[in-house]
Amino acid sequence: MALSEFNFKFMQPGRIRLAVIFSSTLLLIAFAAIFIRGLNLGVDFTGGTIVEVGYEQSTDTEAVLKILQDGGFADANVQYFGSDRDIAIRLGVHEGTKDDLSNQVLALLRHDGTKVEMRRVEFVGPQVGKELIEDGGLAILYTFLGILIYVSVRFEKRFAVGSVLALLHDTIITIGFFALFQLEFNLTVLAAVLAVIGYSLNDTIVVFDRIRENFLKLRKRTPVEVMNISINQTLLRTIITSLTTLLVVLTLLFIGGELIFGFAAALTVGILIGTYSSIYVASSVTLAMGISKLDLMPVEKEGEEQEEILP
C-alpha cells in the first residue's frame, strides 16, 4: 500500500528556494506598505463617533457623504449596514458630545425634508482608542508566547520556532494587505487576525503531528523524505478544510455587507497564506534547523538498561 495518495516533492531544495523568494517578496511588500502607507485605523483605535441612521427608501452613500462633507464633516466615512436603507456614518474626533454631533448629522441629512431615523450613536474617546491599540498588540504578543510554549512542550523546540515564524509570516502579510489597499483596520479585523493565527496553527499542528509519527515509524528514511511523506498524507485534509472554510468566508466577503467586509477579507487572506505557510514556512524552517528522528526519540529512564542486564 502506498504511504500517501499524493507524492509531491514539497521539500526539494529548488522548491524551498522558490518558496523563500515568494515569502520574502510578500513580506517586503507588507513591511513597505505598513511603514510607508500605514494602517487606515478605524474609529475603534483613533477615537470618534459612529452614527447609524435609517432611511425610508434606498439611499446613495456618495450623496450622503457629500452632504456631510459640505456640512463641515470632511473626515466622514459612510457605508451601508444591513441594507441600502441603513447607513453607518463614522466621524473623527470633534468638539461636543455624541448627542450634539448626532443632532448635527441628523439636521444635515433632513435639510431637504428627507425622513431619516436615528438608530444608534456610539462614541469612542481618543484615550480609549490608544488603549485598544496597546491591548490589541499585547493580545497578539501573548498569543505568540503561548503558542511557543505549547508547541515546545508538545513537540520539540525546533517545531516551536517553525510554527511561530509561520504565524508571524501570516500575521504580517495579512496586516500588510490592509495597509497596501488602505482597508479600514478596526477591532473586527483584529479579531480576524487572531482567528487567522488559530486557524494557521491548527493546520501546522496537524502536519507536525504526522511528521513526528513518521520520524518514529520510518526510521530508515531521511528527514526530507519523512517531511514529504507527512505533508502528502495530510494534504487532502488540508485542501478540504481550507476550501470548505473559504466557501463560508467568501460568502461573507461578497454578500455580507460593508460592515463585515474587513473581517471576511482578513480571514480570506489569512486562510490562503496560512495553508501555504504550514507547508513551506513551518516545515521548511524546522527542516533547516536540523530536525531528525534522534530529537524525537523518547528519553530512556534511568535504570531501564540496568534492568535488562540483571538476570
Domains and CATH numbers, the chain: 13-40+128-296 (1.20.1640.10), 48-124 (3.30.70.3400)
What is each CA distance from 258 to 87, 117, 253, 261, in whole angstroms? Answer: 10, 20, 9, 5
The pLDDT value recorded for residue 66 is 87
The pLDDT value recorded for residue 272 is 93
The pLDDT value recorded for residue 246 is 93
Q: What is the mean pLDDT of each run of 10 residues along the chain (311 residues)?
A: 66 89 96 93 80 86 87 83 81 78 86 83 74 81 84 80 89 94 89 88 86 83 87 89 92 83 93 91 86 64 46 42
The pLDDT value recorded for residue 177 is 96
Cβ atoms 170, 197 nearer than 8 A: yes
pTM exceeding 0.85: no
The pLDDT value recorded for residue 310 is 42
The pLDDT value recorded for residue 74 is 83
The pLDDT value recorded for residue 306 is 44
State how far the Cα of 301 lies from the Cα of 294, in Å rounded to an integer.
16
The pLDDT value recorded for residue 126 is 65
Q: Other CB atoms closer than 10 Å to residue 246's CB: what's the count?
A: 16
What is each CA distance from 266 to 197, 243, 276, in whole angstroms? Answer: 11, 16, 16
The pLDDT value recorded for residue 279 is 86
